[in-house]
Structure 1
Amino acid sequence: MVRIVLDAGHGGHDPGAVANGLKEKDLTLSIVKHIGRLLSEYERVEVHYTRTDDRFIELSERAAMANRIGADFFLSVHVNAGGGTGFESYIFNGNVSNATVAYQNVVHTEIMKAIGNVRDRGKKRANYAVLRHATMPALLTENLFIDSAGDATKLKSEQFLLQIAHGHVEGMVKAFGLKKKATTQPKEDGKLYRVQVGAFSDRKNAERFAEELKKKGYPTIIV
């Protein structure tokens, strides 16, 4: 069994970064819920959340939750701000295991494949509390810049948030060797997902993403 803790950054009275009509706390929760739903299609995965609604949780408590359940991987999802553009990921800048480095390498790569025409800001290290306090391999992702007009346009697209989630999941599938369940229940949510070829680095990536959505029961077309 692989125990994964999904942490949606910020929440409650802490909205995180706010710009262009968006709040970081809402975007991170949406992405994390997509990740959890996609992970439910795999065998021997136990998904835990630090939050599933709009509530405030201390940074130290987020990692403590993962430590208490003996998680195998802690994933904290954020959206950046500060005038830049693109995607970057972080692990702790102190002593980390070889597994932590390996997981960052594969998850970062798969996210970049999934989100396509976005600047790759690189694999980084930082002394973030959620990474420092976690006793298992931990990764923090910064998914575009909320205060960049171009990035914000992407972040307003539910399809793009699903692409971000898909990249995170594909990374964890590869990192932990996850296997699809033999049978899955369609995930009808009343939406038609339009996979935009231009949002990917090449058409093949768009086609693979559309096929994955169709397998999961999401009505999907390529445009």
Structure 2
Amino acid sequence: MNAEKRRKKRLRNLVCIVYCSLQLLIVLALFQGMGSLLHKLVPAGIDLSQIEGKIVVVDDEQENKDKLDENKLIVCLDAGHGGKDNGSDYRLRYEKNDNLKITQAVAAYLADKENIQVIMTRSDDTFLSLEERTSFANQNNADYFVSLHRNTGEGNGVETWIRSDADDKTQALAKNIMDNLDAAGISRNRGVKKGTQKSESKDYYVNLHTNMPACIVELGFMNSPTDNQLFDANIDSYAKAIGDAVLKTYESYGKDGADAKESVEDVPGTEEQTSTETGTGTTGQVLQNTPIENVSSLDATSHDWGLGSHTDDENRPLDAINAQETYGKYNACFIGDDTKDIYLTFDEGYEYGQTESILNTLKEKGVSATFFVTEPYAKENPDLVRRMIDEGHVLGNHSVTHPSAGMPSLSLDKQENEVTENHAYIKENFGYDMYLFRYPTGRFSEQSLALLNNCNYKSIFWSFAYLDYDVNNQPDHASSLQKMKDKLHPGAIYLLHAESETNAAVLGDFIDAVRAAGYGFKNF
């Protein structure tokens, strides 16, 4: 073989080696990506069927009551986020999945103890509001509440959070958890912290609204490869550390936690559960809607939303049910699920001196609502908007200018500006991501619904409204309250105008009547 042929052969071999190496790198990358995707879609966890009958979960209230053994130490474990709320994410690794894994592991560890009754806010990929989580713990008379999370941002390590005025028992619980996790192996002990990241005088929702010693555990930073590696390698050790910390606190302080804190109805405002928690609270929520293509080609006909008098056998307006079936694909909500829960929403186009009373009543009754605000309202009433956020309500987008002819009367660009400019103002001035939109005057089009979807918003309509917005002609209190009660139905979305003196006057009685009828309150 001459030198030229040898040279060509070596070149072919080199090309082959480079090609094969590239293919191998691509395959490895695909496997890594698939691993992350599987981590997102199919979170590994403990098979809770192995300890069936020992754990009570929020999803079956009657069955739960039958299982609950109140003679035991009742420990409520809360896996943060879930369902539509992914929490933090890092390279397709979702916090909600990690939270569920560690919570399942702690539940399995504690459920094997003779004197422990474990209850869980969720055992699968389910969304629960902060109110639902704390109500579950309170209604089942839990002795301890532990909410499990992962962190994100600058830094690394593990920390626990307790309320600003935590008693000795609560402080001991958080410290015992930190000490045990430190011994199990963490990258850094960030200590026990009081209040919230923004203020030591404010409290995260679940710490404030539970009637027992409660703490939030942030198990490492998701954007720290070291913390992720430790988390994955030490799930069982961390579960044992947390479980043993609860037992140690119990040994020191006993079972009764009734005096651990004052009634939740007598305490000041709250902040959201964690710095990364979404849903109600100080940071809002960022939706990731599936984009709808060719929005401009969709029907731009303007529709006036209103309800006829026809209802089904559950008193649900047929118009709302039909609209949900027709337009739900655009991430629009005209009526909630067929459960005995309702949604309270208030439109805030301008302030007429009634919002403070409404907020006082909601706080007194322990109910979270949604307030849809325009940009001028937020600019003119920053203290009220801040209070809405701090007290755990959801802030919704009601446009910038509240166009009287409705959103469809504007060009697509102007419609988008009505949404994004208000969003940007609230984000910049209150640190809050709005994710719900209410159409001014209720006018919408198929095209505008798709546009809102592509702005990563959910469009919220209503299944109850009445003539309450004319401040110079307010309806009678008694007849208005009766009308609100008569229209009660599963999944009801109540639209109430916050400038109404009548609404402010009857709100407390209405909340009491809703609960007396066996209904609860939810938020989006």
TM range, normalised to the smaller chain? 0.7 to 0.9
Counterpart of 2:152?
A: 81
Residue 114 of structure 2 corresponds to residue 43 of structure 1: yes
Q: Please, which of 112, 117, 136 is the counterpart of residue 182 of structure 2? A: 112
Match of residue 163 from structure 1: 237
Matched, 1:149 2:225: yes
Looking at structure 1, the residues matched to 133 and 179 of structure 2 have their Cα atoms a distance apart, in angstroms, of 25
1:89–1:124 CA contact under 8 A, matched in 2: yes
- Give the corresponding residue for 2:143: 72
Alpha-carbon shift at residue 96 of structure 1 (Å)? 2.5
Hey, what's the Cα distance between the residues in 1 that align with 2:191 and 2:172? 14
Q: Is the 8 A contact 2:186 2:230 kept in 1?
A: no
- Residue matched to 1:130: 206
Q: Give the match for residue 283 of structure 2.
A: none
Letter in 2 for 1:174: K
TM-score in terms of structure 2 length: 0.32
Identity, % of aligned pairs? 33
Instruction: Tell me how far apart the structure 2 counterparts of residues 97 and 151 of structure 1 sit (CA, whole Å).
Output: 30
SS of the equivalent of 2:161 reads: strand
What amino acid maps onto 2:177 in structure 1?
V
Q: By how many angstroms is 1:149 displaced?
A: 2.1
- Work out whether residues 20 and 146 of structure 1, in 8 Å CA contact, stay in contact via their aligned partners in 2: no
Q: Distance in 2 between matches of 1:108 and 1:140?
A: 11
Match of 1:28 among 99, 112, 126: 99
1:72 & 1:86 partners in 2: Cα distance? 27
Ranges in structure 1 where 5+ consecutive residues have no aligned partner:
179-223
Structure 1 partner of 2:89: 18
Superposed CA deviations along residues 81-103 of structure 1, whole A, max 9, x for unmatched, are: 0121000001111x322211121
Deviation string for 1:193-213 (max 9, x for gaps)? xxxxxxxxxxxxxxxxxxxxx
Give the greater-gyration-radius structure (CA).
2
Q: Do the aligned partners of 1:20 and 1:152 also contact (CA within 8 Å) in 2?
A: no
Output the amino acid matched with 2:191.
G
Quote the Cα distance in structure 2 between the aligned partners of 1:113 and 1:170: 12
C-alpha RMSD over aligned residues:
1.4
Q: Residues 5 and 48 of structure 1 are in contact (CA less than 8 Å); yes or no, is this contact kept in structure 2?
A: yes
| Residue of structure 1 in register with 2:21 after alignment | none
Q: Any idea what SS the aligned residue of 2:87 has?
A: coil
Q: 1:54 to 1:118 in 2, by over 3 A?
A: same
How far did residue 61 of structure 1 move? Answer: 1.4
- Residue 57 of structure 2 aligns with which residue? none
Q: CA deviation at 1:68?
A: 0.4
Shift of 1:111: 1.6
Counterpart contact for 1:89–1:141, Cα < 8 Å: yes
The residue type equivalent to 1:109 in the other structure is D
Paired letter, 1:169: G
Q: How far apart are the structure 2 equivalents of 1:164 and 1:26? A: 16
Give the whole-Å Cα distance in 2 for the aligned partners of 1:139 and 1:26: 20
CA distance in 2, matches of 1:30, 1:130: 20
Amino acid at match of 2:227: D
Cα distance in 1 for residues equivalent to 2:222 and 2:243: 22
Residue 117 of structure 1 and its aligned partner are, at CA, apart by 4.4
Aligned length: 174
Q: Does 1:9 pair with 2:85?
A: no
Match of 2:234, SS state, is: helix
- Tell me, yes or no, if the aligned pair for 2:181 and 2:241 is still in contact at 8 Å: yes
Q: For residue 113 of structure 1, what is the amino acid of its counterpart?
A: A
Which range moved further: 116-125 or 134-143? 116-125
- Measure, in 2, the Cα distance between the counterparts of 1:105 and 1:80: 18
Bigger relative contact order, structure 1 or 2 (CA pairs below 8 A, ≥6 apart): 1
Match of 2:131 in 1: 60
Question: CA separation in 1, counterparts of 2:247 and 2:187?
Answer: 22
Contact 1:2 1:45 in 2 (8 A): yes
Residues 18 and 113 (structure 1), Cα distance of their counterparts in 2 relative to 1, 3 Å cut: same
Match of residue 173 from structure 2: 103
Give 3-state SS (helix, strand or coil) of 1:177's partner. helix
Residues 110 and 116, structure 2, Cα contact 8 Å, conserved in 1: yes
State which of 118, 121, 132 in structure 1 corresponds to 2:190: 121
Structure 1 stretches (4+) deviating beyond 2 angstroms?
A: 152-155
Output the CA distance in 2 between the equivalents of 1:70 and 1:150: 38
1:39 and 1:27 mapped to 2: Cα distance? 19
